[in-house]
Chain A
Amino acid sequence: MDAVATRHAAAARAAAVPRPDFRRATADAPWVRRLLTAVALLFLAAFLLVPAAAVLWEALRGGLQLWWKAVSEPDALSAIRLTLLVAAIAVPLNTFFGVAAAWSLTRFRFRGQNLLLSLIDLPFGVSPVIAGMVTILLFGAQGILGAWCQAHGIRIAFAVPGIVLATVFVTFPFVARELIPFMQQLGTEEEEAALVMGASGWQILTRVTLPNVRWSLFYGVILCNARAMGEFGAVSVVSGHIRGLTNTIPLHVEILYNEYAFRASFAVASLLFLLALVTLVVKKTVEWKQAASRASRSAA
């Protein structure tokens, strides 16, 4: 039986003529593929890859010691501290809001939902300079609440609180925008099942909803954080630009650059670049996890 099988296999192999000239009907000619790929890569190189490489190159050109010095000198450290502080306030606030908004907009139906959704997207469409401007308009010396602030000795504009407020405004939609489409797609079946089983609202949220959306939530938080730490335009308007006091990392980068301390500027900028890379890695991971959970959900 085995000998027969082997003979058949050998004959089959001999008869299997390779067909090198067959191209699938939906495949492009090799020259087309190569040309389009080359042009696309050239475009990406010019506008994306080369600038990205430039950050790393310029940052490390002076050697690791210079890099470390730039990153650890007092003004840089206080910029880092301030950036972290601002993020530590803005991100949790906007996360809390994002969850509440997602819950409200995807788990219920009511009039005005579309309006709310559009309003949430507003900060996205507004220039960051305008975002900073409104903070000044409200709390600056000539601002609407300016007199009140001065009377109570509270400094908001051109001080840290102003930076926090402007950052909150700018990073406001990120968590909500990640959660809302995902939660819409998920549907309410699992939460309704939990309700029927007697769970309270809080229990449903923490035991059913949040575990299901944890990756989208995580990515939203990471994006929100990246933007909070990296915001430049809005903070530039609101900050007093006082070295060591009201400068965030991006502002510090600008100062160094304007003083022609290029290597130091890029060194500090590389910190934010690394943050961006982490964000990209998280994005890919989240996409992969979401795809996996979608697959297992449909198989169930």
Chain B
Amino acid sequence: MTRASASRTRRGVLPGFGLSTGFTVLYLGLVVLLPLSAVVLKASTLTWAQAWEVVSSPRALASYRITFGASAIAAAVNAVFGVLVAWVLARYRFPGRTLVDALVDLPFALPTAVSGIALTAVYARNGWIGQWLEPLGVKAAFSPLGVVIALTFIGLPFVVRTVQPVLEETEVELEEAAAVLGATRGQTFLRVLLPALLPAALTGFTLAFARAIGEYGSVVFIAGNMPMSTEIAPLLIMTKLEQFDYPGATAIATVLLAASFALLLAINRLQAWTRARAGMA
């Protein structure tokens, strides 16, 4: 066998390898890598000292606080309630279940601007839900709470959709075995089912968190956007761009990108862990 054909069979026998892979790499380079490298290039026009000054300015620090803080809280809320929703959808029957199940994906499908104005309308002082919170002294819109609400909305499908298939695939025999062995439903859930769901729930949490830190459209309407309190990092970047402070914008963007990539890596690991767990026994 010649060397050329040997490498061909190692790759696969179907035609079109060169064409498809070549185009893929080219497109990927042009559309993704080139623009992202622009970030690196532009950021490097700042000296380390200058970059550090921008990235650690009080305003920037405040924006990290609200961005990462609210994202973490929203992702955590979604982790807990997402498991609950996945459980109810997978196990129980109630009128309108199919409709609700379909609507869980709405935050995926709905443009962020629409979510933004809808959430603001609902949670503002005179909104459908906001009006009930007002007398309790809870200010939902135009406060950090509003940011959390918006980020909970957009992260909602992530945990539900990661946990649901795991629940549906868990064999009923495991629960029957636990019952015959003497466990109550509560014990069965805590000792048998929850451990099986944990990798999926964590993956969903991380996905929701990663999405939340970069979110812009759903948040800027309800947040109030006050610097030092409810100005999220993406908005700060946008503001700097409008002021033509490109290097400054790039510096902050680099912080966000670094966080995003770290999270993407974590998600990859978690997904591998989930697959390994599923393959056991």
Contact = CB atoms under 8 A, between A and B. Distances in A.
Are chains A and B touching directly in their complex (CB below 8 angstroms)? yes
Interface of A: 25-26, 28-29, 32-33, 36-37, 39-41, 43-44, 46-52, 54-55, 58, 97, 100-101, 103-105, 107-110, 116, 118-123, 125-131, 133-138, 140, 142-144, 168-169, 172, 188, 191-192, 195, 200-201, 204-205, 223, 226, 229-233, 236-237, 249-251, 253-254, 257, 262, 265-266, 269, 272-273, 275-277, 279-281, 283-284
**Residue of B11, B42, B153, B172 contacting most chain A CB atoms (<10 Å):** B42
Interface in B4-56: 10-17, 19-21, 23-25, 27-28, 31-36, 38-39, 41-42
B100 interface: yes
Contacts, number: 283
Given A103-B20, A130-B237, 18 more contacts: A26-B176, A36-B92, A49-B100, A55-B117, A55-B118, A107-B16, A110-B17, A116-B28, A127-B237, A128-B216, A129-B214, A137-B250, A195-B13, A223-B109, A230-B113, A230-B114, A250-B113, A276-B110
10 contacts: A41-B100, A108-B14, A110-B11, A125-B261, A126-B36, A127-B215, A129-B238, A134-B36, A192-B13, A262-B121
A40 B88 contact: yes
B190 interface: no
Contact of A279 (B109, B115, B122, B172): B109
A108 B110 contact: no
B103 A188 contact: no
A122 B88 contact: no
A99 B172 CA distance: 38
B268 interface: yes
Contact of B106 (A48, A191, A192, A205): A48
Contacts of B250: 133, 137
B106 A37 contact: no
B88 A37 contact: yes
A233 B234 contact: yes
A204 B216 contact: no
Nearest to B81: A43
Dominant SS among interface residues on chain A: helix
**Residue of A105, A191, A237 contacting most chain B CB atoms (<10 Å):** A237
B175 interface: yes
Given A47-B153, A116-B24, A127-B214, A204 B14 contact: yes
B149 interface: yes
B32 A122 contact: yes
A204 B69 CA distance: 51
B136 to A, nearest CB: 14
A51 B268 contact: no
Contact of A188 (B12, B94, B156): B12
A272 B114 contact: yes
Dominant SS among interface residues on chain B: helix
A28 B85 contact: no
A100 to B, nearest CB: 5
B185 A254 contact: no
A230 B217 CA distance: 10
Given A104-B17, A129-B216, A201-B16, A97 B24 contact: yes
A43 B119 CA distance: 14
Contacts of B19: 100, 201
Contacts of A253: 113-114, 117
A232 B214 contact: no
A43 B149 CA distance: 11
Nearest to B253: A130
Given A48-B107, A104-B21, A253-B117, A125 B156 contact: no
Given A134-B35, A169-B31, A172-B31, A52 B118 contact: yes
Given A48-B153, A236-B238, A283-B105, A108 B114 contact: no
**Which A-B residue pairs are the 3 nearest by beta carbons?**
A230-B111, A127-B214, A201-B15
B109 A125 contact: no
Nearest to B25: A116
B102 interface: yes
A169 B32 CA distance: 7
A223 B217 CA distance: 18
Contacts of B81: 40, 43
Nearest to B214: A127
Contacts of B94: 37
A161 to B, nearest CB: 14
B180 interface: yes
Contact of A47 (B12, B16, B21, B152): B152
Given A144-B42, A250-B113, A109 B10 contact: yes
Contact of B118 (A37, A40, A51): A51
Given A41-B100, A54-B122, A133-B250, A101 B12 contact: no
B263 A125 contact: yes
Nearest to A40: B88
B256 interface: yes
B210 interface: yes
B21 A135 contact: no
A279 B107 CA distance: 11
